[in-house]
Amino acid sequence: MFHVLCRIVGIPTLRDTECIIIVIHKKLKMSIGSFISSAIENLQKNRDDVALSLVCSAVDATSAKLYPELKVGERYKKFLKNSMRIITTYGFPGITASGISIKCHNLPSIKTNHEGHTDIENILYHIIRCSLIHQCEIDKRIEFVPYTHIGDFDEKFRIPDSLVIGLLIAVVLSKCNINEKLDQDYVLTLEKESININQLWGKFEDFKVNRINRQVTSKHGKPTS
Residues 6 or more apart whose CB falls under 8 angstroms from that of 92 comprise 148, 150, 160, 162, 163, 166
| 142, part of any domain | yes
Give the pLDDT score at 109: 66
| Dihedral angle of Cα 118, 120, 121, 126, to the nearest 10 degrees | 70
Give the pLDDT score at 116: 67
Give the pLDDT score at 193: 74
| 54, part of any domain | yes
Number of domains making up the chain: 1
What domain range is 172 assigned to? 32-212
Residue 220 · residue 165 · CB < 8 Å: yes
| 143, part of any domain | yes
In a structure prediction context, what are the per-residue pLDDT tens digits for the chain, which is 225 residues long? 333 333 333 434 444 444 444 443 444 578 999 999 999 999 999 999 999 999 999 999 999 999 999 999 999 999 999 999 999 988 988 878 787 777 766 566 667 676 767 888 988 998 889 888 888 888 787 888 887 777 666 677 888 899 999 999 999 999 999 999 998 999 887 667 788 899 999 998 876 545 544 333 344 556 666
| 10, part of any domain | no
| 8, part of any domain | no
| 69, part of any domain | yes
Summarised one tens digit per residue, pLDDT across range 70-89 is 999 999 999 999 999 999 98
Residues 6 or more apart whose CB falls under 8 angstroms from that of 153 comprise 143
Summarised one tens digit per residue, pLDDT across range 1-25 is 333 333 333 434 444 444 444 443 4
| 65, part of any domain | yes
| 2, part of any domain | no
Give the pLDDT score at 169: 94
Give the pLDDT score at 20: 43
